[in-house]
A = this chain, B = another copy of it.
Amino acid sequence: MLLKNRLRHWLLAAATLAAAPAMANNPVAPSDSATIKQIYDNALTSTKSYEDLRYLTKNIGARLSGSPQAAAAVEWGRQVMNKMGLDRVYVQEVMVPHWVRGDKEIGRVLSGQVGSTDVNIAALGSSVGTGESGLTAEVVEVHNFEELEKLGKKKVKGKIVFFNRAFDNTHVQTMAAYSGAVDQRGGGPVAAAKLGAVAVIVRSMANEIQDVPHTGNTRYQDGVDKIPAAAISTKGAELLSKQLKNDPNLKFYMRMTCENLPEVLSYNVIGELKGTEKPNEIIVVGGHLDSWDLGEGAHDDGTGVVQSMEVLRLFKDLGIKPKRTIRAVLYMNEENGLRGGRKYAEEAKAKGENHIAAIESDAGGFTPRGFGMEATPAQIQKALTWKPLLTPYGLHEIGAGHGGADIGPLKGQGTVALIGFKPDSQRYFDYHHTDIDTFETVNRREMQLGAASMASLVYLISQYGL
């Protein structure tokens, strides 16, 4: 059954493709293949974007919204694009949350049987602190919200709820494993607080058993107590779970001095190449400037930022005059607010701008596999007719899929197609939101191939619309 459906689906796609070159509304010029080759050749031999990434990660570093480093990243992005000789570089004001981590967190399992064991934890973004002296409580382990509900107030009140549902490693796409686990991180504190818990510990969002905790944003709800929430490394989660089995009454000590400060003025940074024939049809290509405060924000999302700027550089340096307008948008505050993405969409709407496509790179600087599209069937079919131009570069996976967080708010404005750049996903959650998301984990060529892939799709859309 599964096979039959897959076959049918695939054959439909193949038949559509076979028919495509005859479609009158979508001519491709023989020179398109040559232009795309030029784009890849240039991207793979220029060191520009890689050196840009080095600067952003090594000289600026982690850049959480509201931090001085986020401000530095804004000014850096503006300067880099200013030097490119674009038609326009500008910023968009946006107020952003300002959360600070405070001291390095302490997490400690206190067992009557095996004594005290330190484990690596990191406060979740937006979390309140524990107070200077920390808190100590018994722990109840759950794997989902149903289990938690079943425990009820009696068994949860006064305790720390430990959400320990692991990634399902059978998912070939690691994003699917993430989607299947991340509800614990976002919804854990509210659900636990409703039952009287004093804090939450969430198993890190990772495929591997590692010693490094993965932070990420969590949510509170008006009218529900705000309780401290931390990610625990997967190794720590395994240890805690094991000790709990032998000693259900063990206690956990956690200390976090994180806090939410007043909002701060920040900016999206935008660079533009004006279209020669249809300047009012706008194509966005973007990533987010902010990162978590751990590591260097290399794959998340330094690579998306430098790839987006690289698209414009490639057009400039190769002398390609786009028929439609292309904008690189460096969004602020994807990680803990999405204020930049919302602001960009609001202004676009207010100005009556016509966005025809928005491409986001926020899944790491890994080898390209394709593009996922939130678009009409006709738009997807049109993109599929370009497949023969793109598969020589490893872009096989083109079809319906997830666009991206920052471009999401554009949805519904006219006929804009939201397109997520889709790199290989296997290594992403080894680094995501951690201390070890550093420049060294980015392979130069993989990142450059991503930039070239985005530039090639932008080129085709700029030539033929979508």
Checking B6, B15, B44 against A170 with a beta-carbon cut-off of 8 angstroms, the contacting residue is: B44
Contact of A45 among B4, B169, B396 (CB under 8 A): B169
A393 to chain B, nearest CB (A): 6
Q: Does A1 touch B at the CB level, under 8 Å?
A: yes
Instruction: Mark each residue of chain A from 9 to 35: 1 if its CB lies under 8 Å from any CB of chain B, else 0.
Output: 011001101100100000010101110
Q: How far is the CA of A344 from the CA of B170 in the complex (A)?
A: 36
CB distance from A74 to the nearest CB of B (A): 31
A447 to nearest B CB, angstroms?
A: 10
Q: How far is the CA of A255 from the CA of B31 in the complex (A)?
A: 53
Q: Does residue A162 face the partner (Cβ distance < 8 Å to B)?
A: no
Question: A376–B28 Cα gap in the complex (Å)?
Answer: 33
Q: Is the CB of B169 within 8 A of A44?
A: yes
Q: Smallest CB–CB gap between A32 and chain B, Å?
A: 7
The reply to whether the CB of A252 lies closer than 8 angstroms to some CB of chain B is no
A392 at the binding interface (Cβ < 8 Å): yes
Contact of A444 among B17, B32, B172, B208 (CB under 8 A): B208
Residue A430 lies at the interface, judged by CB distance under 8 Å to chain B: yes
User: A424 touches which one: B7, B396, B424 (CB < 8 A)?
Assistant: B424
Minimum CB distance partner of A32 in chain B: B3
Q: Does A48 contact B (CB under 8 A)?
A: no
Query: A28 to B3, Cβ gap below 8 A?
Result: yes
A49 at the interface (CB under 8 A from B): no
Instruction: Please measure, in the bound complex, the distance between the C-alpha atom of A394 and the C-alpha atom of B30, giving whole angstroms.
Output: 29
Decide yes or no whether A445 CB sits under 8 A from chain B.
yes
Restricting to A376-407, which residues have a CB under 8 Å from any CB of B? Answer: 387-389, 391-394, 396-397
Residues in B with CB closer than 8 Å to A172 are: 40, 44, 392-394, 449
Q: Which of B4, B45, B369 contacts A30 (CB 8 A)?
A: B4
Chain B: minimal CB distance from A431 (Å): 11
CB pair B28–A18 under 8 Å, yes or no, is: no
Task: Decide yes or no whether A204 CB sits under 8 A from chain B.
Answer: no
Give the interface residue-count category, chain A.
35 or more
CB distance from A170 to the nearest CB of B (A): 4
In the complex, chain B residues whose CB is within 8 Å of the CB of A389: 3, 6
Q: A367 at the A/B interface (Cβ < 8 Å)? A: yes
Partner of A426, one of B7, B17, B392, B445: B445
A2 interface residue (CB < 8 Å to B): yes
Do B1 and A392 touch across chains, with their CB atoms under 8 A apart? no
Asked if B3 and A367 make an inter-chain contact with CB atoms under 8 angstroms apart, the answer reads no
User: Inside 8 A of A369's CB, which chain B residues have their CB?
Assistant: 394
How far is the CB of A173 from the nearest CB of chain B, in Å?
A: 9
Contacts of A238 in B (CB 8 A): none
Q: Is A207 among interface residues, defined by CB-CB distance under 8 A?
A: yes
| Distance (whole angstroms) from the CB of A147 to the closest CB of chain B | 22
Query: When the two chains form their complex, are residues A33 and B2 in contact, meaning their CB atoms are under 8 A apart?
Result: yes
* Interface pair B388/A3, CB less than 8 Å apart: yes
CB distance from A287 to the nearest CB of B (A): 20
Distance between Cα atoms of A359 and B228 in the complex (Å): 53
The answer to whether A277 has its CB under 8 Å from any CB of chain B is no
A225: CB under 8 A from chain B? no
Contacts of A2 in B (CB 8 A): 30, 33-34
Question: In the assembled complex, which residues on chain B have CB atoms less than 8 Å from the CB atom of A207?
Answer: 444-445
Q: Report Cα–Cα, A40/B171, bound state, in Å.
A: 9
A460 to chain B, nearest CB (A): 12
Q: Which residues from chain A sit less than 8 Å from chain B, CB to CB?
A: 1-4, 6-7, 10-11, 14-15, 17-18, 21, 28, 30, 32-34, 40-41, 44-45, 169-170, 172, 174, 207-208, 367, 369, 387-389, 391-394, 396-397, 424, 426-427, 430, 443-446, 449
* 18 CB-based A-B contacts, threshold 8 Å: A2-B33, A4-B30, A6-B389, A7-B21, A7-B388, A10-B387, A11-B21, A18-B18, A44-B170, A45-B169, A172-B392, A172-B393, A172-B394, A172-B449, A396-B396, A426-B443, A426-B445, A427-B446
Contacts A10-B388, A11-B21 known; list 7 others, CB within 8 Å: A40-B170, A45-B169, A172-B393, A172-B394, A367-B424, A424-B424, A426-B446
